[in-house]
A and B are shown apart, each in its own frame.
Chain A
Amino acid sequence: MSRRQKRTLLSILLSAALFTVALFLQEGSLRMVLLLAAYALSGWEVLLEAGRNILRGEVFDENFLMAIATVGAIVIGEYPEAVAVMLLYQIGELFQSYALGKSRRSIAALMDIRPDTATVERDGTTAVLSPEDVAVADVLVIKPGERVPLDGVILEGTSALNTAALTGESAPRDVTVGDEVISGCVNQSGLLRVRVTKPYSESTVSKILDLVENASVKKAKVENFITRFARVYTPLVCALALLLFVIPSLITGDARTWGERALSFLVVSCPCALVISVPLTFFGGIGGASKRGILVKGSNYLEQLADAEVVVFDKTGTLTEGAFRVTLVHPELVSEQELLRLAATVESYSDHPISRSIRAHYHLPVDIQELANVQEIAGQGVTASLAGRTVYAGNEALMNAIGVAIPVCPHLGTIVHVAQDGTYLGHIVIADQIKATSKEAIAALRREGVRKTVMLTGDAKPVADYVAAELGLDEARAQLLPADKVAEVEALLSETRQRGRGRLLFVGDGVNDAPVLTRADVGVAMGALGSDAAVEAADVVLMDDDPRKLALGMRIARRTLSIARQNIIFALVVKALTLLLVAVGLANMWLAVFADVGVSFLAILNASRALNVRA
């Protein structure tokens, strides 16, 4: 309990004691003094706040409403009523603030990946610094059990890293010299010396925290509805209270009864239950999702994720491993090694997974001294001049473009043809493995009610068809250039729009599909651990490589939304009922307060359920 809560509790107890004593006394001045003292003790803060707010021209706030209601009760001589209402209100507020504190703490615990200190080696000694004070190129010493404070590269040591806080994945990741380590992971086994590559403010851990903490800026439609609703609700109920007092009093002449009812009306007019619990629900949902390695950049995306109807996948790196391996080398005219050398050299500047796999297969370092005019042709391949001759490495389209005839290769995979000055030299077959979890991921999405799954790829049709059939996808579109992917997504989007309120998700690895990610209703980047570009471009970021997280994300989104809706409906129904009962005289002010603070309390408790995510 905070200091303020303890103080409130104390004044509630004292006030309650005075109140109880007063109730046993006969009518008289002593009883009145005790009741007024009890009222002052529990209500002085509310009265003070209300006064200050009126001076500042802010009327309809809860303090004002409570003050009017209780002062009104005193004016009409209902002293015990006034004290009881104020007491109940304070007790309710206390419970509410306690519950709020609890939910806040569990959210904060979820995001407890912030490293407190960093041990840095400088001038032969080590110093313990705050992570903000560590510079790029500093050398960190990370002991087993410690959290990696900044992103870096391992200089010395071998260890297993626990990435659970970032990815929700419990299997540790083995790392050794030369590997990148990402801040927020926990070093499990060996001592590591790490050279810092990014300042703290750009390190993974602060990016993730920033993203989750600021997710509440992008509000869901439900949240905006609540804000608008709160703005009209209070003045409306106040106006109704006034009408409830004036009209029946004039007709019946019984101003006292109707005055009492009007005051009770005011007590119910605070929309607190909604205003507090709905943002808390969304935040809990976002926090719970991040615990499982699903970063959602705003409540609005959570809302759209819940309505996902069409899911469009990029193939490489999303449904497949993206780790291409050279499976066959078919040289003609030159040796196998020479064919590989040419391909590896001209592709040496490319970061495309295919280029990387060729370089990896070639093993030897490439000599780029005589390499010039490297041109990457999107969707075709690379051309470059090497030692005075022009080398082409790319797909069928590239070979057609330069007028080189190619043989038919029966092997499935991506085929990189190599030609030199118009002469065909052979080809390299590169294949990519389907992820072990992809098939299950597609089935899980279908269970969540996704109507259509589509795969887009720049790859050849036989490869696309094979993967689609293997995974049970509805459609596969092959041989697409980056621009074609945007067009395909646009077409699918307008088709989805015509059908209704379903949403289109695009899932990619975030490396080169930024335009599509932004075009889709929800852009999801996968395996984004350590990839800044993906984190920037996407609306939802899956920290690990597991496509099954999509269906989990949808489930979390739906659960969060349903909790938010439960709270809204519950609060509105209880309030409407209370107003009705008060208006016809079946409920008094006590019950009204109970309805008001009780609903807030229960709504906050319900909201905290959004945090708990089951697998």
Chain B
Amino acid sequence: MKKTFALRELDCAMCAAKVEKAVQAVPGVQSATVNFVLQKLTLEADDAAFDEVLARVRKAVPRAERGCEVL
């Protein structure tokens, strides 16, 4: 399943790359891209485990870039 989420407080392109890398490293994530201009995260993960993976992603994002959150 592929879903798109809005991000908050993503203020630099470098940070976007940092967040993208961090999300890609989360176990269970099949693919992840961050659109810096639109502040969007597109996440792909297994249907069954999606909510679980999403919870991990929500934690990983602010760890990678302080203040940045998945809405």
Chain A interface residues toward B at CB < 8 A: 2, 4, 45, 48-49, 52, 58, 61-62, 93, 96-97, 100, 104, 107-108, 213-214, 216-217, 230, 272, 275-276, 279-280, 283
Q: What's the least CB distance linking B26 to chain A, in Å?
A: 16
The SS class assigned to the A binding surface is: helix
Question: In chain B, what residue has the closest Cβ to A103?
Answer: B37
- List 9 A-B pairs, minimum CB-CB distance, nearest first: A283-B37, A275-B13, A97-B11, A276-B13, A4-B9, A4-B67, A213-B38, A275-B14, A279-B13
B48 in contact (CB, < 8 A): no
**How far is B66's CA from A107's CA once the two chains are assembled, in angstroms?**
25
Given the complex, which residues of A lie within 8 Å of B33, measured CB to CB? 217
The SS class assigned to the B binding surface is: loop
Given the complex, which residues of A lie within 8 Å of B66, measured CB to CB? 45, 48-49, 52
Given A4-B67, A49-B66, A61-B14, also A107-B37 (CB < 8 A):
yes
Given the complex, which residues of A lie within 8 Å of B56, measured CB to CB? none
Given the complex, which residues of B lie within 8 Å of A217, measured CB to CB? 33
Given the complex, which residues of A lie within 8 Å of B8, measured CB to CB? 2
23 contacts between A and B (CB under 8 A): A2-B8, A2-B9, A4-B67, A49-B66, A52-B66, A58-B18, A61-B14, A93-B11, A96-B11, A100-B11, A104-B37, A104-B39, A107-B37, A216-B35, A230-B14, A272-B14, A275-B12, A275-B13, A275-B14, A276-B13, A279-B13, A279-B37, A283-B37
Question: In chain A, what residue has the closest Cβ to B8?
Answer: A2
Given the complex, which residues of A lie within 8 Å of B18, measured CB to CB? 58
A104–B12 touching, CB < 8 Å: no
Cβ contacts B17-58/A at 8 Å (1 or 0 each): 010000000000000010111111000000000000000000
Q: What's the least CB distance linking A169 to chain B, in Å?
A: 25
Chain B interface residues toward A at CB < 8 A: 8-9, 11-14, 18, 33, 35-40, 66-67
Given the complex, which residues of B lie within 8 Å of A279, measured CB to CB? 13, 36-37
Given the complex, which residues of B lie within 8 Å of A96, measured CB to CB? 11
Q: What's the least CB distance linking A99 to chain B, in Å?
A: 11
A280–B11 touching, CB < 8 Å: no
Question: In chain B, what residue has the closest Cβ to A108?
Answer: B38
Known: A107-B38, A275-B13. 13 other contacts (CB 8 A): A4-B9, A45-B66, A52-B66, A61-B14, A96-B11, A104-B39, A107-B37, A213-B38, A213-B40, A216-B36, A275-B14, A276-B13, A279-B37
**How far is B38's CA from A108's CA once the two chains are assembled, in angstroms?**
7
**How far is B37's CA from A214's CA once the two chains are assembled, in angstroms?**
11
Given the complex, which residues of A lie within 8 Å of B11, measured CB to CB? 93, 96-97, 100
B38–A276 touching, CB < 8 Å: no
Question: In chain B, what residue has the closest Cβ to A101?
Answer: B11
**How far is B38's CA from A280's CA once the two chains are assembled, in angstroms?**
10
Given the complex, which residues of B lie within 8 Å of A52, measured CB to CB? 66
